[in-house]
Amino acid sequence: MRAHLARAMTAPEKKPLLERLVGYRDAGLLLAGVAYALGYASRSLHAFDYNLGPLPGARFDYVVAGALLLLPPGALCLAGWLLWRGIKRAAAWAAKRPGGTQRVSNALGAAWMLGIAVVAFAPNPMVANGAMFLFITAFALSIAFAAANEESPGTAPSARETSASSRHWVSAFLERLGVFLMGLAMLLMALLPLILFVGSVLFGAIALTHVPQEFGGVKPKCAVIDLVPEQLSPELLTLLVGNSPNPSASKVLRSQRLELYTTSAPWLVRVHDSVPGAGSSRSLRLGDSAVRSVEWCR
C-alpha cells in the first residue's frame, strides 16, 4: 500500500490534451522548417552545379525534398540508439556473471586482432575485405562494450572486475579507450546537428537527382514545348527548335526534346548534349509568356 502511495505521489502529472497538442504543433513546425531549409539548400546546390540559375524562395517541393532527406539520418540515429541500448543490456548482463565482462572483452579483442592478422596476410582481396569488415565491427563493438560497461548501473565493483591486477590488458586498454572516445563523442555532440545538416545537403544534392519531381526530387523530365516565337530571340529559338525557323511562318513552334527541371513556370530547361551548339552546361529559363503548352515524353 505504501509503495503504491509513494508511486502515486511521485508520478508526474499528465498534461492536458490542449497543451500536448500545442507541443506537437510546435514540434511539427520546427521539423517543417528544418525540412524546408534542408530541401532548399540541397536543391540550390544542385542548381548551382547544373547552372540552372537562382531558385524561387517559396515552394512546397522544398519541404517534400527535405522530408525525404531527413529519413536516412533519422533511421541511422534510430539504429544507433537501438544498437547502443542493446550493447548496454549486454554489458549489464555480462557484469552480473563471474568473469563475464572480461570474457566478452577478450573475445571481441581477439576478433579484431584476428582481423588485423588476416588483412596483413590475406591471400586474395575478397578475404582481405572480409577481414577488414571483421576488424572494424569487432573494434567498434569492443569500444562500445567498454563504454557501456562503465555506465552499467547497479553493478558492484567485484562483479565488474575492476581490479587492475586481475584484468586482461586488452580489457584495460579498451576500457580506457572507450572512456576517452565517449568524452570525445560528448564534445562533438554540440556539432552533431551541423554535421548532419551539411552531410544531408551534400547527400541530397546527389540523391535528389534520382528522385522524380512528382516526389520532391529534381530528376529531369523529358518534354516537348510549344513555343511562342515572338517572345524569344532568333538565336534562342534556333537552339530550342533545332533548325533555322522563320518566326513569322507560324504563331507556335514546337521544340525538340528537352530536359525540364521544373513542372511549372519559370521553366528551367536544359538542351540535350547531343544537340549541336548546346554544350554540357547550357541551361535556359523560360517565362510563362514564351510557353504555350508542354507535352511530356519518356
| 83, 162: one domain | yes
| 84 and 179 co-located in one domain | yes
pLDDT of residue 124: 77
Range of the domain at 293: 220-297
* CA 137 to chain CA mean position, Å: 22
**Mean pLDDT, 10 residues at a time, the chain of 298 residues:** 47 68 82 88 87 81 87 82 82 78 78 78 77 77 73 49 48 64 66 79 87 86 88 84 67 87 83 54 81 86
Q: Are residues 81 and 175 in the same domain?
A: yes
Q: Is residue 101 part of a domain?
A: yes
- Do residues 84 and 180 share a domain? yes
Q: What pLDDT is attached to residue 274?
A: 52
Which segments within the chain are labelled E, that is strand?
Answer: 221-227, 253-254, 258-260, 267-271, 283-286, 291-297
Look at residue 266 in the predicted model and tell me its pLDDT: 81
- In the structure grid, which three cell numbers stand for residue 222, read together? 523529358
Same domain, 105 and 160: yes
> Quick check: is 157 in a domain?
yes
Residues 97 and 179 in one domain: yes
Pairing verdict, β 283-286 and 291-297: unpaired
Q: Are residues 105 and 187 in the same domain?
A: yes
Closest CA to 105 of 180, 162, 153: 162
Tell whether the torsion through CA atoms of 221, 224, 230 and 235 is positive or negative.
positive
Question: Domain count of the chain?
Answer: 2
CB 131 within 8 A of CB 115: yes
Together in a domain, 177 and 224: no
Instruction: Report pLDDT for 164.
Output: 45
274 lies in a domain?
A: yes
Does one domain contain both 175 and 275?
no
Claim to verify: residue 96 and residue 164 sit in the same structural domain: yes
- The answer to the question of residue 154 being in a domain is yes
What pLDDT score does 187 carry? 66
